[in-house]
Chains A and B, each alone.
Chain A
Amino acid sequence: MSQRIRIHGGRVIDPASQIDGPLDVFIADGRILALGNPPDGFEADLDIAANGQIVGPGFIDLSARLREPGYEHKATIASESLAAAAAGITTVCIPPDTYPIIDTPAVIQLIQDKATLAGKLRIQPIGALTKGLNGQDLSEMSSLKEAGCLAVSNAMAPVSNTLVLRRALEYAASHDLRVIVRPEDKDLADGGCAHEGPVATRMGLRGIPYAAETVAVAQVLALIEHTGARVHFTQLSSARALRSIARAREKGLPVTADVAIHQLHLTDAAIEGFDAHYHLRPPLRDLSDRDALRDGLRDGVITAICSDHQPHEPDAKLDAFPATEPGMAALQTLLPLTLELVASGVLTLAQAIASLTSGPAAILGISGGTLQAGAVADLCLFDPQRPWTVNGDTWLSAGHNTPYWGQPLKGRVTQTFLGGVRVFELDAR
C-alpha cells in the first residue's frame, strides 16, 4: 500500500545533495516526490510532524550479520530486520559466511524471500569470492551478479594463495564487481584474540599484530595496481593500514575503506578484566589507532561507518575470553555512537550522516542514500538529543552481546520508512 506522505517541521539533512535545513518532505509511490514546497495538488494520506527531529536518508550498513541461513540460534532475518528498522537502517550488506555460504543464486533467493517476508529491510548479499570461501576456487561471480550481488568478499576466511587472490581480483574486475576485503593475514594473526601490545602481554592473551592488517592491505594494494580491481577495505583497525590506503587513494587507485563504529570509541584498555563482550575481530587497538581512524573519517580516507553487527547466543560469550566468539551486536548503537562523534567534535552532523548514507552508497555504487526528488523513499527520523538506555525493553536484536548493555545513550530513531512504507514507529502503541 503506497501512501502519500508529508513530513513537516523537521530539519532535513541530505549530504548527497548538500541540503541541511527546515524543509517538508513529500513522498508518493514509494519515492521522494519533492523537498520544500508541496507539488501541485499534493494531498497527504499521512501527515507526520517531525518537530525537533532530523529527517535523513535511511542508513546503509556495509557489514551486518543477520545469521540466517544457518545460525538461527543466534538471530534471524526477521529478528534483525526489526532491530535494523528501529536503528534507522534501511539497507544492510551481509557477508557471505552464512550456512550455506552465499556462493550460489539459490542462497541469495532464499535470503531475499526471507527479507521480503520480514518486509522491513533491504538486504544486499555479498557474494563469496571463492567457492565455499575455500580460498582456492573462484566462485561463479557472473551468476552471483545476475542474482543481484554488487560485491564479492571472502569475509573472514583467508585467501592465502596470492595467485588465487590475483585471479579472483581480475575475475571480479572483469564482471565489474567490487571486492570487499577484511584485511587480516591469517598466519600473522596466529589464532590471536587481542591487539598485540602491552595490554595483551600483561593479560597473557595471544596477540594479533599490526602486521596482520598491514601485510594484508599491502598485498591487496600491490595486486590492485596489477589487476585494476575495485577494492573496498572493511573494518579497518590500525593507523598503519589506514596510511597505506590513504597513499593508494592519493595515487588514484580505486580503493575505499570503512570502519566499524566501535573502533572509533573503544581501545584495548577495555579488555582488562577479561570481559568477553570486548572480544572483537579485528581486535580493539590502542588510543593512537582510534584517533587515527577518527582522523581518517574526517579527512575522507574512510567514507563509511558500519555496525559490524554480530549477534550471538548467550553461550557464545560464556567462557574464558580466548574461547569465546568474537563480535558484538551493534545495529541499534550505530546511530547514537556516531552522534557521539559529533558531540565530541570529531565530525560535523552532515559528515556523520554522510558516513551512514551517501558514503556507503557510493562505495556500493547504488543510487540510494539520498533524499533527492525521485529517489526511493528510504528514510528515517531521529531525535539526536533523545536519551535511552540499552536494555531488554529497548533492544530488539536477538543478540544481547553488547558491552553497552545497561548504559544510557543519546540519539534515537523515531520513525523509519522503507520505499515509502513506515516500517518502524517508536511511540506507536
Chain B
Amino acid sequence: MTTANDLQLNDRGQLRHFLSVEGLPQALLESIMDTAESFASVTEQTVKKVPLLRGKTIVNLFFETSTRTRTTFELAAKRLSADVLNVNIATSATTKGESLLDTIRNIEAMHVDMFVVRHAQSGAPHFIAHHVAPHISVINAGDGRHAHPTQAMLDVFTIRKHKGDFTQLKVAIVGDILHSRVARSEIHALRILGTREIRVVGPRTLLPAGIESLGVKAYYDLDSGLEGVDVIIMLRLQRERMNGAFIPSEHEYYARFGLTGKRLAQAKEDAIVMHPGPINRGVEIDSKVADGSRSVILQQVTHGIAIRMAVMSMAMRHDSGEKMA
C-alpha cells in the first residue's frame, strides 16, 4: 500500500506533488512558510515577477468551479514567470463523456510541467499523481471533502505572522466540518506545527464520525467552543446543506453558530478571525466581525499567492535537485 507521502515526496524528502498536508514533517511545513515569506516581498514590488519557473507550463485543471483559488494559483504561477493554461473542465470534456484519465493523458501530451487540480471527488489528485508522467507535479487545489493543502498552509502562515508560537495556541474551527476539506487540512497542519489545542465547533450533523481521532476536541455549542481561543476559523455554510436535513434553517444556524461581536468576546482579547471564503454574511458571520479589526480574512487571500508561489516553486525543483536562488 502506498501512503500519500510515498507519492508526494521524493527520496530526499522534497515535495514532488502537494496532495495533502497529512503526515508531512514539521520542517517541510516551516520551509514552505519560510519560502512564502521570501516571496511576500516580490508581490509588493512594482515588477511583481521572479524568473524561477520561466519556460515551465502550468495547467490549472478545475473540475469544479472556483474563483479565488484559481486566480491566486494563476497569479502565483505568473509571478514565477511560468506560462499558465486554465482548463475549466466543469464545462468541458468530461461532460462529453471523456474519462478523467483520458483528459489527463491529452493535456499531458501537450508537454506541460504541472497540474493544479481541483476536483469534486476525494482522492482525484492522488489518482492523477499516480498516473502522470514522472516529470509532472500535481498540486491539489481541493478534492472533495478530503484536502485543500495550500489553503491550510496559507492559514497557518497567517496565524504564524500574527501569533508566532503554535505550541501556546488554542484554535477553534467553526461550522460545517463534515463537508470541509479546508478543515481537515487545517487540522493536520495545526497538529504538525504543535498547536496546543484544536477545537471543532458545530452541530452534530455537521461533525464527521470519529473526528476526535484527528486530535481535536468537539464542541456542539459556540460559546463554550470559543472560550479562551487565540484563533477562530469560520467555515462557509453551503446553502444546499439545508436540503440535506443537516440544519433546519439559516436563521437557526446563525442564532446558534453565527459569529457575532458578542460571541467573539468569549475568545481572547487579541483573538484573530479567519475565513477561507467566500463568506456568507449573516449566515455564519456578522458583517461587523468580518470587516472588523480582528478579521484577517483579506490577509489570507494575499498570503494565498505567496504560499502558492512557494509550493509551486518547491515542487518544480524536485526533479533537477536545483537550489533555489
Asked whether A105 is an interface residue with its Cβ less than 8 Å from the other chain, the reply is no
Q: In the complex the two chains form, is B213's CB within 8 Å of A274's CB?
A: no
Determine the distance from Cα of A272 to Cα of B22 in the docked complex, in whole angstroms: 12
Contact call B4/A273, Cβ cutoff below 8 A: yes
Scoring B99, B121, B131 by chain A CB atoms within 10 A of each residue's CB, the highest score goes to B121
Q: Which bracket fits the contact residues of B?
A: 20 to 34
Knowing A202-B184, A207-B208 are in contact, say whether A273-B126 is a contact too (CB < 8 A): yes
- Verify B126–A198 contact, CB threshold 8 A: no
Is there a chain B Cβ closer than 8 Å to A80's Cβ? no
Q: Does A319 interact with chain B (Cβ within 8 Å)? A: yes
Looking at A197, A272, A318, A320, the one whose CB has the most chain B CB atoms below 10 A away is A320
A49 contacts partner chain B, Cβ-Cβ < 8 Å: no
Q: Chain A residues near B3 (CB, 8 Å)?
A: 272-273
Q: Which residues of the partner chain A approach B144 to less than 8 Å between Cβ atoms?
A: 204-205, 320, 322
Residues of A within 8 A of B143 (CB): 204, 320
Q: Return chain A residues, CB-CB under 8 Å to B131.
A: 318
Most central of A200, A274, A321, A322 by chain B CB within 10 Å: A274
What are the residues of chain B within 8 A of A209 when measuring CB–CB?
Answer: 209
Which listed residue, A204, A206, A319, A323, touches B184 by the CB 8 Å rule? A204
Docked pose: A196 CA to B208 CA in angstroms = 8
- A320 touches which of B2, B119, B147, B209 (Cβ 8 Å): B119
Chain A contacts for B122, CB-based, 8 A: 203-205, 274, 320-322
Main SS at interface, chain A: loop
Which A269-305 residues have a C-beta within 8 angstroms of B? 270, 272-275
B55 is an interface residue with CB less than 8 A from chain A = no
State A319–B100 Cα separation when bound (angstroms).
Answer: 6
Q: Which of B123, B124, B210 sits near A197, CB closer than 8 Å? A: B210
Chain B contacts of A197 at CB under 8 A? Answer: 209-210
Residues of the A chain whose Cβ atoms lie less than 8 Å from the Cβ of B184 = 202, 204
Residues of A within 8 A of B209 (CB): 196-198, 200-201, 207, 209
Which of B100, B123, B210 is the most central at the interface, judged by chain A CB atoms within 10 Å of its CB?
B123
Instruction: Output the nearest chain A residue to B128 by Cβ-Cβ distance.
Output: A320
Number of A residues near B (Cβ < 8 Å) is: 24
Q: Which residue of B lies closest to A278 (CB)?
A: B1
Q: Are A321 and B208 in contact (CB under 8 A)?
A: no
In the complex, which residues 1-29 of chain B have their Cβ closer than 8 Å to any Cβ of chain A? 1-4, 7, 22
Q: Does B236 reach chain A (CB closer than 8 Å)?
A: no
Give 1 or 0 for each of B181-217: 1 = CB within 8 Å of chain A CB: 1001000000000000000000000001111011000
Verify if B101 is at the interface (C-beta below 8 Å from A).
Answer: yes
Interface centre among B3, B122, B147 (most CB of A within 10 A): B122
- B127 contacts which of A196, A315, A321 (Cβ < 8 Å)? A321
A273 surroundings in chain B (CB, below 8 A): 1-4, 7, 126
Tell me the bound Cα distance from A205 to B211 in angstroms. Answer: 13
With A204-B147, A205-B145, A319-B127: A270-B210 Cβ-Cβ less than 8 Å: no
Tell me whether B78 is interfacial, beta carbon within 8 Å: no
Asked if A201 contacts B123 (CB within 8 A), the reply is no
The answer to whether A203 and B123 touch across the interface, beta carbons within 8 angstroms, is yes
A207 to B131 CA separation, bound complex (whole angstroms): 26
Give the residues in chain A near B4, CB-CB below 8 Å: 273
A328 to chain B, nearest CB (A): 15
Least CB separation from A195: chain B residue: B209
Q: A323 to B119: give the CA distance in the assembly, Å.
A: 11
Residue of B nearest to A199 (CB): B210
Considering the complex, give the chain A residue whose CB is closest to the CB of B7: A273
With A204-B147, A204-B181: A322-B210 Cβ-Cβ less than 8 Å: no
CA distance A198 to B123 in the complex (A): 16
A window 198-244: CB within 8 A of B: 198, 200-207, 209
Q: Are A321 and B213 in contact (CB under 8 A)?
A: no
Nearest Cβ distance between residue A199 and chain B, in whole angstroms? Answer: 8
Q: Is B275 an interface residue (CB 8 A)?
A: no
Q: Is the CB of B213 within 8 A of A198?
A: yes
B146 sits at the interface (CB 8 A): yes
* In the complex, chain B residues whose CB is within 8 Å of the CB of A203: 122-123, 146
Asked if A320 contacts B210 (CB within 8 A), the reply is no
Enumerate chain A residues within 8 angstroms of B208, measured Cβ to Cβ: 200-201, 207
Give every chain A residue within 8 A of B101 (Cβ-Cβ). 318-319
Nearest A residue to B178 by beta-carbon distance? A201
Residue of chain A at shortest CB distance from B127: A320
User: B181 and A320: CB pair below 8 A?
Assistant: no
- Which residues of chain A (320-348) have a CB below 8 Å from chain B? 320-323
The docked-state distance in angstroms from the alpha carbon of A319 to that of B214 is 27
Measured CA separation A106–B214 after assembly (Å):
54
A320, B213: Cβ atoms closer than 8 Å: no
Selected from A196, A206, A270, A319, the residue in CB contact (under 8 A) with B145 is A206
Residues on A with C-beta less than 8 A from B100 are 318-320, 323
Q: Are A319 and B99 in contact (CB under 8 A)?
A: yes
* Shortest Cβ gap from A403 to chain B (Å): 9
B210 touching A198, Cβ below 8 Å? yes
B124: chain A residues within 8 A (beta carbon): 319-320, 323
Interface-centre pick from A204, A270, A323 (highest chain B CB count, 10 A):
A204
How far does the Cβ of B86 sit from chain A's closest Cβ, in whole Å? 21
Q: Write the nearest CB–CB distance from B89 to chain A, whole angstroms.
A: 13
Contact A320/B1 with A202-B213, A205-B145 known, Cβ cut-off 8 Å: no
| Residues of chain A within 8 A of B126, CB atoms compared | 273-274, 320
Closest partner residue, chain A, to B1 (CB atom): A273
- In the assembled complex, the CB of B158 is this many whole angstroms from the nearest CB of chain A, namely 23
- The answer to whether A201 touches B1, judged by C-beta atoms less than 8 angstroms apart, is no
Closest 5 CB pairs of A and B: A204-B146, A204-B145, A198-B210, A274-B123, A320-B121
Additional A-B contacts beyond A198-B213, A273-B1, A274-B123 (7; CB < 8 A): A200-B209, A201-B213, A201-B214, A209-B209, A319-B101, A320-B121, A320-B123
B residues engaging A (CB < 8 A)?
A: 1-4, 7, 22, 99-101, 119, 121-124, 126-127, 131, 143-147, 181, 184, 208-211, 213-214
Q: List 8 A-B contacts (CB under 8 A).
A: A203-B146, A205-B122, A209-B209, A318-B131, A320-B100, A321-B121, A321-B122, A322-B121
Residues of A within 8 A of B (CB): 196-198, 200-207, 209, 270, 272-275, 315, 318-323
